[in-house]
């Protein structure tokens, strides 16, 4: 008679651990990506809104950190402010092209290529050739979304790469079922380092939560400052040193961070 073989879990184990909580007296600066990190993905990028409990948590955390909390997103600042009622927070929009410090001081990326109108027109025309692809016009950058038509991804990617090669000063930023045309020379890593130079972020230990390729720039900056880089989800490879499985786990962990900071 053969012996029953016990089931063995064959799935590779994620080598990354979950992030630690702050020790007593820890002085953290928290940077948060938005889509895929704080919020689950949805078909329509314009209809996404945070729930009331997430909003309350983020506002309480912002206060507990004396303002050292910033959203770092591919969305426009105006969009972030509307979504999170956060016009008084430091934030980086359009992958760092827009930046607002905690004191309200702004800087827009100085080198926006001259031919923005041409870029927008060309991107719009390209989107028109792909059924189901939704265009998000962010003025300085254009996002082409294919969440509603994922089968278009490969051919859209190929066509967008060919187009951007003819648009001096622009690069293609791939994301989660999105391809973005954006000016070269700025990314989330630069934005985080810029925010870290000023109060209330300066001198604190940086912590960054993000899920997407564009967040890898920020992970590199955070690692260089001995901070905590936290990948949300399972995307690999990643420079992040910690992980949480998704937005619900990110929210639960942030809630425990708030408890640790306030009790
Ligand atoms: O840096 P993020 O805050 O993660 O922003 C990246 C892009 O997020 C949005 O698109 C993504 O979320 C949408 C809503 O769930 C989804 O429909 C889309 O497929 C995702 O790629 C946003 O619309 C973009 O402008 C941001 O650049």
pLDDT in tens, 26-38: 999 999 999 999 9
Top-confidence residue, 1 or 258? 258
pLDDT over threshold 80, residue 91: yes
16 within some domain: no
**Strand stretches in 60-169, DSSP E:** 69-72, 90-93, 98-100, 106-108, 134-137, 142-145
Confidence (pLDDT) at 2:
36
Mean pLDDT of 213-240: 97
19 within some domain: no
22 within some domain: no
Q: Which residue among 183, 218, 234 closes a domain? A: 183
User: Is 159 in the same domain as 247?
Assistant: no
User: Is 104 in the same domain as 33?
Assistant: yes
pLDDT over threshold 60, residue 9: no
Report the percentage of the chain scoring pLDDT > 70: 93
Confidence (pLDDT) at 15:
85
- Site to probe by mutation for ligand 1, drawn from 44, 58, 74, 97 as the one with most ligand atoms within 8 Å of Cβ, is 74
Q: Whole domain around residue 224: which residue ranges?
A: 28-109+186-262
pLDDT over threshold 90, residue 211: yes
62 within some domain: yes
pLDDT over threshold 60, residue 8: no
Is the CB–ligand 1 distance for residue 75 below 6 Å? yes
Distance 45 CA to ligand 1 centre (A): 6
User: Is 43 in the same domain as 145?
Assistant: no
User: Is 52 in the same domain as 72?
Assistant: yes
Confidence (pLDDT) at 4:
39
What is the pLDDT of the chain when averaged over all its residues? 92
Nearest-CA residue for atom 4 of ligand 1: 35
Distance 227 CA to ligand 1 centre (A): 25
73 within some domain: yes
- Site to probe by mutation for ligand 1, drawn from 42, 91, 175 as the one with most ligand atoms within 8 Å of Cβ, is 175
Confidence (pLDDT) at 31:
98
Q: Which residue among 158, 183, 208 closes a domain? A: 183
8 within some domain: no
Angle between helices 153-164 and 116-128 (to 10 degrees): 150
Residue 238: CATH number of its domain: 3.40.50.1000
User: Is 84 in the same domain as 199?
Assistant: yes
Identify the three-state secondary structure at position 204. coil
User: Is 176 in the same domain as 190?
Assistant: no
User: Is 190 in the same domain as 94?
Assistant: yes
Confidence (pLDDT) at 170:
94
pLDDT band at 13 (very low <50, low <70, confident <90, very high): low
152 within some domain: yes
82 within some domain: yes
pLDDT over threshold 70, residue 245: yes
User: Is 179 in the same domain as 148?
Assistant: yes
CA separation for the pair 49, 81 (Å, rounded)? 11
- Per-residue pLDDT tens digits for 125-137: 999 999 999 999 9
CA separation for the pair 149, 133 (Å, rounded)? 6
Give yes or no: 33 in active site. Answer: yes
Q: Does the structure's ipTM exceed the value 0.90?
A: yes
pLDDT over threshold 80, residue 113: no
Confidence (pLDDT) at 215:
98
User: Is 160 in the same domain as 226?
Assistant: no
Q: Which residue among 183, 210, 239 closes a domain? A: 183
User: Is 250 in the same domain as 144?
Assistant: no
Residue 135: CATH number of its domain: 3.30.70.1020
Q: 56-77 in b/e burial notation, b at 16+ Cβ within 10 A?
A: ebbeebbebbebbbbbbbbbbb
pLDDT over threshold 70, residue 188: yes
User: Is 157 in the same domain as 224?
Assistant: no
Domain count, the chain: 2
CA separation for the pair 125, 133 (Å, rounded)? 11
User: Is 190 in the same domain as 105?
Assistant: yes
Nearest-CA residue for atom 26 of ligand 1: 74
Distance 232 CA to ligand 1 centre (A): 14
pLDDT over threshold 70, residue 228: yes
Report the percentage of the chain scoring pLDDT > 90: 87
Confidence (pLDDT) at 14:
63
pLDDT over threshold 50, residue 5: no
Is the CB–ligand 1 distance for residue 145 below 6 Å? yes
- Site to probe by mutation for ligand 1, drawn from 178, 183, 188 as the one with most ligand atoms within 8 Å of Cβ, is 178
């Amino acid at each position: 008679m053969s012996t029953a073989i016990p089931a063995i879990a064959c799935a590779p184990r994620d080598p990354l651990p979950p992030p630690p909580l702050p020790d007593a007296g820890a002085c953290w600066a928290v940077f948060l990506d938005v889509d895929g990190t704080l919020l689950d993905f949805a078909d329509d990028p314009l209809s996404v809104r945070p729930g009331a409990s997430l909003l309350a948590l983020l506002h309480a955390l912002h206060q507990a950190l004396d303002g050292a909390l910033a959203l770092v997103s591919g969305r426009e600042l105006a969009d972030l402010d509307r979504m999170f009622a956060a016009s008084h927070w430091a934030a980086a929009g359009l992958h760092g092209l827009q930046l607002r410090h905690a004191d309200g001081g702004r800087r827009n990326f100085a080198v926006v290529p001259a031919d923005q109108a041409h870029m927008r027109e060309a991107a719009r025309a390209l989107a028109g050739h792909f059924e189901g692809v939704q265009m998000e016009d962010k003025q300085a950058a254009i996002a082409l979304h294919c969440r509603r038509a994922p089968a278009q991804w490969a051919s859209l990617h190929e066509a967008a790469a060919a187009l951007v090669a003819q648009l001096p000063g622009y690069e293609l930023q791939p994301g989660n079922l999105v391809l973005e045309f954006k000016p070269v020379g700025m990314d989330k890593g630069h934005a985080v380092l810029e925010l870290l130079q000023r109060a209330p972020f300066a001198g604190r230990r940086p912590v960054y939560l993000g899920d997407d390729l564009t967040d890898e720039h920020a992970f590199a900056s955070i690692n260089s400052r001995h901070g905590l880089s936290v990948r949300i989800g399972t995307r690999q490879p990643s420079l992040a040193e910690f992980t949480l499985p998704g937005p619900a786990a990110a929210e639960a962990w942030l809630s425990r961070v708030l408890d640790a900071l306030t009790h």
